[in-house]
Amino acid sequence: MWGLWTAVGLVVAAGLGLGLVFAAADRVALTGAGPKALVEPVRSALRSLLEQRRTTLAPDRLLWRTACAAVPVLALLSMAVVPVGDRTLLSTSADLVWFNAMEALLWAAVWLIGWGPNAVHSLVGGYRFLAQGVAYELPLMFAIITAGLGAGSLRTTDVVAAQSDLWFVVTMPVAFVVFLGSAAAFAFWGPFAAPAGADIAGGVLSELSGVERLLVEAGRVVLLGASAAMAAALFLGGGSGPWLPDPVWQLLKTLLVTAVLVGVGRRLPVLRPDRAVELAWMVLVPATLLQALVVALLVLAGAYG
Amino acid sequence: MNDTLLSDPAVIAVVVLGAVSVGSGIAVFVVDSMARATFALLVSFLAIAGVLLALDLVYLAVVTALMMTIEMAIMAVFMIMFMMNPAGLMPMTMVHNGRGSAAVGFVAFVALTVGIWTTDWPSRRGQPPADTTRQLGEAIMGSHMLVMLVVGIGLFATILSGTILATGRGRYDRFGADLRATRPDDPTPGGLPR
């Protein structure tokens, strides 16, 4: 039996570990660094802690600081329903909605990070984040619910168990891609990095320094790592696989998803946020709805056991 | 109330979160910044989501948190679209018709409180189901389907009419008076090549 605090500590450590791995993979993709890439995120984190903090004229300190702290907290809360070694910290009848709700709370947090410092580039970045959010939120909801539909349950462990015969990625490729794309967009990373774009001097991140920058950057990579683990659980059969024990397979699949996400995401150009909504609503919403329809018909035909 | 009820963590959570919800609801009318008012309202709704979580209604709790957060964020988008001071960084009063709204709020509060404490509530029969999410789904897709469909279509019609009333450009501006233009004439191009 796990004690509750041991379990919480384990899940937090898993989240931070996945975040560190993602940050290292990201650095390898950007700079072509070797094994040193694993040390570099830790080193820049320590540097952030020692750095002198900057502030702006008349910021809204309460909302700004709350939002900075909220980003890593929400990323770790989303880990609560991600399987770590065959079980989840929190197993409810609505795990998938929990995961999405923690991501959605980032809407509020990131907009506030943009609004808080009373600075124009930062605010523009916050609004860019919302503009992208309006685009991908609906396709993401359809993608997540498609996995729940195939399993007949919103519980993560049930979704993993329902893939014992066939991984969901085979029948739900569109949902899989949309899920990973939305994770990148929630972390405003890769092709969705316009809210923190160089054309607006770093956008939402422009006025962050010291521990606040560390919190936000850590939250972003933890969310990406958690999403990679969740994608492995929802679409790649979780821990199922031959010879090796389940947690090892789960980890290997998560690392594979991380590598693919970084490899593809860093090769795509940054999407202009004013183009995102039309693309998402004219292409992705119909595509994810069709995907849900196909899965619903397969469920009726008894394809998922 | 007896001692066992008050020492139940769920009851304590409901009481504390209820107080947080009312407190941050009041804060909406006290603060002098648009962002603080918006996020005080969000805290109020999140406390309600916490109450639902304490009552073991997980699906309703997370859906409340999800929808209310997105709603507040959309409100921030509307702020920049329609307000004269889109950033809201200058202190400004957040109250319109202060006396009237205070009176309406007070009367509603008194009516609800009196109703809650004077109603002869029935005692519980049976047990709560193991899976409240499934029960909710079966109710929505079964016995309450008609109500939910009417509400859903009503909400959708409201969204459409709100958008139509708010937009300055209709299809005649985009596709010409005879609607024959092959490409819409938009001030900013969308994401699709058309």
Q: Are residues B153 and B86 in the same domain?
A: no
Alpha-carbon separation of residue A171 from A139, A237, A286, A292, B51 (angstroms)? 17, 12, 17, 10, 38
Residue B99 counted as domain residue: no
Collapsing DSSP to helix, strand or coil, B183 comes out as coil
Domain end marker among B40, B68, B90: B90
**Which structure tokens are listed for A130?**
């919302």
Alpha carbons within 13 angstroms on the beta-carbon side of residue A96 total 27
pLDDT score, position B10:
84
Residues in contact with A176: Cβ distance below 8 Å, sequence separation at least 6, in sequence order:
A143, A168, A169, A231, A235
Q: What's the whole-number mean pLDDT along residues B150-171?
A: 89
Pick from B57, B72, B90: which residue ends a domain?
B90
- How many Cα atoms sit within 13 Å of B73 on the Cβ side? 28
pLDDT bucket at B88, cuts 50 / 70 / 90? low
Chain A residue with Cα closest to B79: A127
ipTM over 0.90? The verdict is: no
Same domain, B22 and B85: yes
Report the residue of chain A nearest B80, measured CA to CA: A127
pLDDT beyond 80 at A191: yes
Interface test with A, best of B39, B77, B90 (most A CBs within 10 A): B39
For B142, the domain range is 131-182
Average pLDDT over residues A201-208: 88
pLDDT tens column, A9-67:
888 888 888 888 888 888 888 887 777 778 888 888 888 888 888 888 888 888 889 99
Tell me the per-residue pLDDT of A125-136, one tens digit each, with 9 for 90 and over: 998 998 899 889
- Per-residue model confidence (pLDDT) at position A147: 92
User: Is B83's pLDDT higher than 70?
Assistant: no
Asked if residue B86 has pLDDT above 60, the reply is: no
Range in A72-86, A184-198, A205-219, A238-252 the model is least confident about: A238-252
Instruction: Give me the number of domains chain B comprises.
Output: 2
**What does DSSP assign to residue A201?**
T
Q: What is the pLDDT of residue B49?
A: 94
Same-domain check for residues B15 and B80: yes
What residues in B contact A286, CB-CB < 8 Å? Answer: none
Q: Extract the tokens encoding B189.
A: 């191009």
Stronger pLDDT, A59 or A235, i.e. the higher one: A235
Kindly list the residues from chain A whose CB atom is less than 8 angstroms away from the CB atom of residue B73. 107-108, 111, 130, 133
CB pairs under 8 A between A and B: 96
**Mean pLDDT over all residues of chain A?**
88
Percentage of chain A lying above the pLDDT 70 cut: 99
- The pair of structure tokens assigned to A185 is 């967009």
Same domain for B139 and B64:
no
Report whether A79 contacts A12 (CB < 8 A).
yes
The mean pLDDT value for A259-275 works out to 89
Q: Is residue B115 part of a domain?
A: no
pLDDT at B115: 95
User: CA geometry: angle at A110 spanning A137 and A214, to 5°?
Assistant: 130
| A255 in reach of chain B (CB within 8 A) | no
**Domain segments of chain A: what residues?**
4-300
Residues B10 and B85 in one domain: yes
Q: Is residue B56 part of a domain?
A: yes
